[in-house]
Amino acid sequence: MPKPWIALSLVAVAVAPLRSQAPAPVTMPAGSYVIQTRDTSAKAEKVGMAGWPFVLKGNGEFTIMAYVTPDTLPYTGKLVQRDGMATYTDQACNEPGIYYVRKEGLGYAFDVKSETCSESLVKLLFVPGKPKK
């Protein structure tokens, strides 16, 4: 009859790799970003915000400088993050969308958990840096 500590040791060894594969919660840090499209294939839907600057403050408030010829218009909102989840609201939509935050390539992406009127957020990739002039 096997000893109980052997069975427990085998379970611990089997579970350890599974635990290490679960991604850690990600938080998009405050700073300056450039908005890009997540899907760069030829079939990707055009995203009019590609190349626009996105500035995220430490309190979750953000500003997107919309390049609308001939003026640049500020677009504001709030991105509240906790434990790998983000709640997004903006000046056009006060009903929050809830997203999973994840690192994708050099930037940050959002996947839908519960969506309202901020559906285009999932098409975007936020890459640290400032737009080239």
One digit per residue, the tens of pLDDT, for the chain of length 133 reads 555 555 445 445 555 555 556 667 899 999 999 999 887 665 555 677 888 899 999 999 999 988 766 677 888 999 999 999 999 998 888 788 899 999 999 999 999 888 777 777 888 999 999 887 6
Residue 72 has a pLDDT of: 78
Spatial separation of the C-alpha atoms in residues 97 and 49, rounded to whole Å: 18
Residue 119 contacts residue 98 (beta carbons within 8 Å): no
> Model pTM?
0.75
Domain boundaries, the chain: 24-128
Residue 8 has a pLDDT of: 46
Residue 67 has a pLDDT of: 75
Residue 56 has a pLDDT of: 97
Q: What is the dihedral of CA 92, 96, 99, 104, to 10 degrees?
A: 30
Per CATH, the number for 24-128 is: 2.40.128
Residue identified by tokens 């938080």 is 27
Q: What is the dihedral of CA 83, 84, 85, 86, to 10 degrees?
A: 110
